[in-house]
Structure 1
Amino acid sequence: MVSPRLVTKIEAEEPTLRLAVLIDADNAQAAVIEGLLAEIARFGEATVKRIYGDFTAPASASWKKVLQKYAIKPVQQFAYTTGKNATDSTLIIDAMDLLYTRKFDGFCLITSDSDFTGLAMRLREEGLTVLGFGEKKTPEAFRNACHKFVFTEVLRPDTATESAAQRTKKTENDQKSSSPQPAAQAPETKQAFPRKFVLAALEQSSDDAGWANLGNFGNYLNKLQPDFDSRLYGYKKLSDLVKARTDLFVTEERQVPGSTQKALYLRAK
Structure 2
Amino acid sequence: MSQPVRICFSDIDGTIMHDPNEQDRDAELLVTPPSASGRQGAISAQTIHQVAALRSKGVMFVVITGARLSTLLMRLPYLPAADAFVCENGGRVFYPGSPLPTACPITEDAHWRDTQAAAGPTSQDGVEPKARTGALWEWYAKLAADGWVLDANGYTTSFRCHAKGGKSMAQLEALAKEAPQGLDSSFNLGAADFYPDTSGKVRAARYLMARFQARAQDCVFLCDDDNDMELAAEVGRAYLPSVTSESVRRAVAARPEHFVQATKKGTEATEEMLLAVSKDYKLL
Specify if TM > 0.5.
no
TM-score by length of 1: 0.27
TM-score for both structures, normalised by structure 2: 0.26
User: Comparing both chains, which one has the higher relative contact order based on Cα–Cα distances under 8 Å and sequence gaps of 6 or more?
Assistant: 2
Greater fraction of residues in helix:
1
